[in-house]
Structure 1
Amino acid sequence: MDDFAIFWEWASFAIRWLHVVTAIAWIGSSFYFIALDLGLVQRPGLPKGVYGEEWQVHGGGFYHIQKYLVAPEHLPEHLTWFKWESYTTWMSGFAMLAVLYYAGADLYLVDRNVLDVPSYVAILISLASLGLGWILYDQLCKSPLGKNATALMLVLYVILVAMAWGYTQLFTGRAAFIHLGAFTATIMTANVFFIIIPNQKKVVADLKAGKTPPAYLGAQAKQRSTHNNYLTLPVIFLMLSNHYPLAFATEFNWVIASLVFLMGVLIRHYFNTRHARKGNPHWTWLLTAILFIIIMWLSTVPQVLTGERKLSSAEERFLASAHFPAVRDTILGRCSMCHTQEPFYEGVHHAPKNVLLDNDNEIAAHAREIYLQAGRSHAMPPGNVSGITDEERRLIVTWFEEAR
């Protein structure tokens, strides 16, 4: 039994669970505070230094919230800092990147038909892109361009489009989308770690020392917080995209990713406008729907033939295994009625998740999924509709564990 593969799968599950939980906490607090900030009302008689207030009701109680632009005259002993949600989300996300894409680089990160490099080179490219991306973004924000919010956002969008295209020229489509999400998420968490929290700490320190904090500290933190707000929804899409090959495994995947950023901005603009009580811009949903229809169309455009894909060393081992002929017969007989270009199982019109198992190379490319879904577990076929036997499942397990 390949205990390591099973352990690795459960480790991946645990890290993914942690990532989702912390991401919910971060996104929830981020969206709440943006909505709260936009909904503040200025009324006569507010205490000195209070910019605005908001009355809210939740869970059977009423909440009276006031915001000080700088700070009250006397700071309370205890302040709640919202930072670990962001840090833990990034750390767990990076752990997932390492477990899935770095450890499995030969299958999930490197596409020999795109860029034929050793796994360690691809990993170094990945790490460098995340670090350099933050440095470029940070310098742009601190440059004179950073004083013009609209111009800065346009330049940043061009950079994101360029990164979307660039990642598809380096990695597999699945890895390209994940890396674009990681690239953006790194910027978001770095904003919290390097700018927002340090600036807030400087303000608190100055106030405790009886000094007046520089105004730029708050403005700088506000700018980065706004960027994070508009980047959140595209990051969620990109992180979920690895379940949908029609998004990442098509010829125009980089264009799809670029349009997703526009969709995210439009949706956030709608909610931000509503929360600020500045109207109800329904047109944002119409434009979002149009962009999504364009994405659907782009995903169905026939790919340009680029020649036969090169096999990885792992795939070659799976094909060379003495058990492969029997496994192939099992897969073709039990799985390929759905997982083929033209499924012939009733009610199935497209291969689920765009996974094709109708030829040797595709079976080898999806060996790990076959092992986990149909060998070690009974997840596939759903409800065992094709009647795969226990003996056939054991054969799949033996084939994978001996050849990997």
Structure 2
Amino acid sequence: MLDVVTLGAWLEFAIRWLHVITAIAWIGSSFYFIALDLGLHRDRTLPSGADGEEWQVHGGGFYHIQKYMVAPDNMPGDLTWFKWESYATWLSGVALLAVVYYWGAEFYLIDPAVMDISVPVAIGISAASLAVGWLIYDVLCKSPLKNNATLLMVVLFVVLVAISFGYAQVFTGRAALLHVGAVTATIMTANVFLVIIPNQKVVVADLIAGRRPEPEYGRIAKLRSTHNNYLTLPVIFLMLSNHYPLSFATDNNWIIASLVFLMGVTIRHFFNSMHARKGRPWWTWGLSALIFAAIMWLSTAPMHGADPEGEAMNGAATQFASAEGFDEVQNIVLGRCSMCHTAEPGWPGLHWAPKGVHLDTPARIAGQARAIYLQAGLSHAMPPANLSWMEEEERESIIAWYNSATGG
């Protein structure tokens, strides 16, 4: 019979799978339409009155695509709206945030060495910050800055840097970078839900009623769509960052997050210029490489964490450290796992602990109880290929210890 932890792990896997699928759909359609719009031939006089056209070939067929700045003479009744990809991506992302970081707040969200706060407070800060981030962004986009797209982008970048720094002062390094991505993704989806789609619906309603739509609706939607285009690549990096400690487990993680936004701009500028037939600015790749080199250099700074001898335990860690069988499990982990999961791994070829997980003190072992249970107790994921020869009896001891602590 599956226990709660196992069910939770599979629930996380299912939601993550859904999140990746919907994100692929959203990003794919977004990039396609950006490339299509930039690549339209607008130097042709078209009988239909369209603003531009392009011929494309795919899947053995040819497609003739035309774009109307306002609308064709006869409004079609079967318009396809590209919005559900965005909504589904955000909703599945929030579900994943809840399952991983809210449900496991004491393991993944809160680091007493950064800020000693309770689980409800941490979750409250997390949820509220997503809404506040959108409100700040929306106010800036409606301010006089909207008339200067470049200056607006610079101000928004400064805001994102401040957000990155702020998260790093509250949450674990892993959660900080994840939340920078989450607040950015919230801005992107809110752009679609609260601005782009409503504006398009106003235009459609005006056309159906025989009124001339205000051009301002299209201009505003275009500005928000452009922002989404440049924010996409940084969001992907930040979503993946929680799997790579070199990005989140350093004192410079907020600077790394900030630089990622610059790198997203330089990469997208290359492709946008290419699709618009304005040449291929190869210098953007050189600049991107320099930014990435700076990120790699910053990642070598000391990782977050208190001194092992004086490390304090949070509530969950204390629960596992005081549970029956902890002394035995501690000896098992120190003998089978800590040669790799320590500040200076003793395994040949390893220069840092896999995934940044250290299992060389009682506090750290207790703090990783759930991961140890899932990966070395219930499954044989760790040690990899059982290189340290963990016995079945030892795995059973890990399971017994975890169940003793959780009442399972």
Q: TM-score range by the shorter chain?
A: over 0.9
**Contact persistence 2:259–2:295 (CA under 8 A):** yes
Greater Cα shift, 366-375 or 29-38: 366-375
**CA offset digits 1:163-204 (Å, max 9, x no partner):** 000001111111111111110000000000000101111111
Look up the match of 1:3. Answer: 3
Greater Cα shift, 44-53 or 143-152: 44-53
Look up the match of 1:64. Answer: 64
**Contact persistence 2:173–2:304 (CA under 8 A):** no
Q: Partners of 1:277 and 1:375 in 2: how far apart? A: 57
Q: Partners of 1:321 and 1:2 in 2: how far apart? A: 22
**Contact persistence 2:263–2:288 (CA under 8 A):** yes
**CA offset digits 1:327-382 (Å, max 9, x no partner):** 11111111122112222223323221121112211111111111111111111111
Look up the match of 1:323. Answer: 325
Q: Partners of 2:346 and 2:191 in 1: how far apart? A: 51
What pairs with 1:1-400 in structure 2 (closer than 5 Å)? 3-302=3-302, 308-400=310-402
Structure 1 residues 198, 210: closer, same or farther in 2, change over 3 A? same
1:305: how far off?
7.8
Q: Partners of 1:388 and 1:305 in 2: how far apart? A: 28
1:48: how far off?
4.2
**Contact persistence 1:49–1:71 (CA under 8 A):** no
Write the letter of the residue equivalent to 2:18: L
Write the letter of the residue equivalent to 1:57: V
**Contact persistence 2:334–2:359 (CA under 8 A):** yes
User: Secondary structure in 1 aligned to 2:359?
Assistant: coil
1:267: how far off?
0.6
Structure 2 spans left out of the alignment, 5+ residues: none
Task: Give the TM-score of the pair, scaled to structure 2.
Answer: 0.96
1:46: how far off?
0.6
**Contact persistence 1:51–1:69 (CA under 8 A):** yes
**CA offset digits 1:201-251 (Å, max 9, x no partner):** 111111011111000000000000000000000000100000011111101
**RMSD, aligned α-carbons:** 1.4
**CA offset digits 1:30-82 (Å, max 9, x no partner):** 00000000000124331343111111111111111000001101011201100
Write the letter of the residue equivalent to 1:204: V
User: Secondary structure in 1 aligned to 2:57?
Assistant: strand
**CA offset digits 1:263-286 (Å, max 9, x no partner):** 111111111111111011111111
Q: Partners of 2:106 and 2:339 in 1: how far apart? A: 28
In the alignment of these two chains, the number of paired residues is 404
1:303: how far off?
5.3
1:385: how far off?
1.3
**CA offset digits 1:86-136 (Å, max 9, x no partner):** 000000000011111111112211111221121101111111111111111
Structure 1 residues 70, 159: closer, same or farther in 2, change over 3 A? same
Q: Partners of 1:295 and 1:167 in 2: how far apart? A: 18
Q: Partners of 2:211 and 2:174 in 1: how far apart? A: 51
Write the letter of the residue equivalent to 2:359: L
**Contact persistence 2:249–2:303 (CA under 8 A):** no
Identity of paired residues, percent? 64
Structure 1 residues 179, 354: closer, same or farther in 2, change over 3 A? same
Structure 1 spans left out of the alignment, 5+ residues: none
Q: Partners of 2:360 and 2:118 in 1: how far apart? A: 28
1:383: how far off?
1.1
User: Secondary structure in 1 aligned to 2:51?
Assistant: strand
Q: Partners of 1:49 and 1:356 in 2: how far apart? A: 65
**CA offset digits 1:125-148 (Å, max 9, x no partner):** 111111111111111111111111
Q: Partners of 2:280 and 2:364 in 1: how far apart? A: 49
